[in-house]
Chains A and B, each alone.
Chain A
Amino acid sequence: MDAATITSWMREIDVAVRAERDHLVQLDAAIGDGDHGTNMVRGFEAVVQALGADDGSPPGKLLVLAGRTLVSTVGGASGPLWGSALRSGGRVLGEQMTFEGNQLVEVLSAALASVKDLGTAAVGDKTMVDALEPAVDTLRSRLHDGVALDQALDAAAAAAEAGMRSTVPLQARKGRASYLGERSVGHQDPGATSTALILRALQKAATKGA
């Protein structure tokens, strides 16, 4: 994988959040304030634009640029959270021009660590961590077991989607949904939902390049 994989990943996210925008808004309106879809579309539109203007940066730098762009355009909680995630992930790759599956695991682990640190959330709090953590764990274990990268990424995306669905019966303990107390139960978390879209987009981007 290389810089083109990152650019393609960001494009796939842009397409996905645009297609799911109303769904994300709906989910957020139920237990938050209804702006998640709009925010994600604004952010990744800006990321695609920023990456399009870039001239030959290595993949790590592109991730840092994408993260910086999200921080400066999204606002809300998802801006700083995904922004810090991509910046931390990008720093793992430094200046190298290509990277392998194992390094992708490190990138995603760093992204997860940064989200958990900034958001002080853990699995079960009904947040994006419920989708991201199982995805990272699944990718790591599948690659460790010798599964091919595209299949491992497919499994990771599926784990994120399962994690997303697992948020439905949970009571939110972080973020704006936490104010609802028990009334957040029965709703799927919008942040976990967009996170599942982002992991599925990664699988599509990596498979396309292969």
Chain B
Amino acid sequence: MAVETNQMRKFLNDPANVVKESLAGLAAAHPDLLRYDAAAQIIVRQGAPKRGKVALISGGGSGHEPLHGGFVGLGMLDAACPGEVFTSPVPGQMLAATKAVDGGAGVVHIVKNYTGDVLNFKLAAEDAADEGIKVTAVVIDDDVAVQDSLYTAGRRGVGATVLAEKIAGAAAESGADLAKVTDTVKRVNARARSFGVALSSCVPPASGKAIFELPEGQVELGIGIHGEPGRRRAQLGPASEIVDVMVEAVVSDLKAKKGAKVLAFVNGMGGTPLLELYLLYGEVDKKLRAAGLEPVRNLVGSYITSLEMAGASLTVLELDEELTRLWDAPVHTPALRWGA
């Protein structure tokens, strides 16, 4: 049965069960890669814990699929803790996940910088330490749309999260120790910047109502991934002009050296087709080169979404040899797969 809301038709049985039912479906689709622990509400990699391997965990509100559950598997995450839609998970989930994947070498928590995520992960890390598990936490905060970060909760964690999970996951898979894997997450975060644009709002299943209204012909610049409005609205111009804004915001903040090799990640927010994302990538590639950067790797697709929001974000990561090698390393998860 499809449930009709005021503004959007959604495939739902009971809106209250959307997260649980989706996680059960994820596990049914990928039994070779992961399992769903319904009691703890966590997604755990098959075969975990792996003795001697540093484990990676991330988590956050649902509604950003495939983040994070779709990135559990070889060369990426060992477990994911999905909260309700746009609501951070609770410490019990992170603790259960930490215990499920700890192979004795320690566990890294990758935390997106939102007050709720940070507080809940903090409580969970304290509980894990009480149980004798070595846990480090890295907060991802790559969103340059948040200005005056001294007077806010700080920059949000967005696209760099996907890149950090892939790259640090490869480091952990190759046998790097806890300090090294933790440092890898930090390096990705330090060298990545993101900026997002929305063409529409999104509709959380529980409320059935759009989070914000965008007047005809307007775009929202500097959005996050929870349907929270951005910093300002502008007239919808050609894609080329929107990309100018995105590239300028990211490049001016990243301050990479001339000729730097970068990874360009054009991410769809859930409601923008690949047709448009590749159009955007073409513009991004051109403009990055014009700005003196060399995109040597890229990722194009919807990987960190905001339900059915139409829009896109750009993340630019300044690469070095090691980060490039880790990016290229085999990965096999529901949403990202190459070399394995």
**Chain A contacts to B: CB under 8 angstroms:** 25, 29, 31-35, 38-39, 71-81, 118-119, 172-176, 178-181, 183
Contact = CB atoms under 8 A, between A and B. Distances in A.
Given A77-B119, A183-B229, A33 B211 contact: yes
A158 to B, nearest CB: 28
B270 to A, nearest CB: 15
Given A34-B204, A183-B231, A72 B92 contact: yes
Interface residues of B, number: 38
Contact of A35 (B86, B91, B119, B148): B86
A75 B123 CA distance: 11
A118 B231 contact: no
Contacts of B229: 180, 183
Contact of B209 (A29, A80, A178): A29
Nearest to B91: A71
A72 B91 contact: yes
A75 B59 CA distance: 12
B228 A77 contact: no
A75 B207 contact: no
Contact of B88 (A32, A75, A118, A178): A75
A29 B151 contact: no
B228 A180 contact: yes
* Residue of B85, B119, B123, B209 with most chain A CB atoms under a 10 A cut-off: B119
Contact of A71 (B123, B156, B231): B123
Nearest to B233: A183
Contacts of A119: 115, 119
Interface class of chain A by DSSP: helix
A101 to B, nearest CB: 31
Interface in B78-105: 83-92
Contact of A181 (B88, B204, B231): B231
10 contacts: A33-B227, A34-B86, A35-B206, A76-B88, A77-B116, A78-B116, A80-B123, A119-B115, A176-B228, A179-B145
Contacts of B87: 35, 38-39, 75-76
Contact of A179 (B116, B122, B146): B146
B152 interface: yes
Contacts of B92: 72
Given A34-B211, A35-B204, A181-B152, 20 more contacts: A29-B207, A33-B227, A34-B86, A34-B204, A34-B207, A38-B84, A71-B123, A75-B89, A76-B88, A76-B116, A77-B88, A80-B119, A119-B119, A173-B152, A174-B115, A178-B153, A179-B145, A179-B231, A180-B231, A181-B148
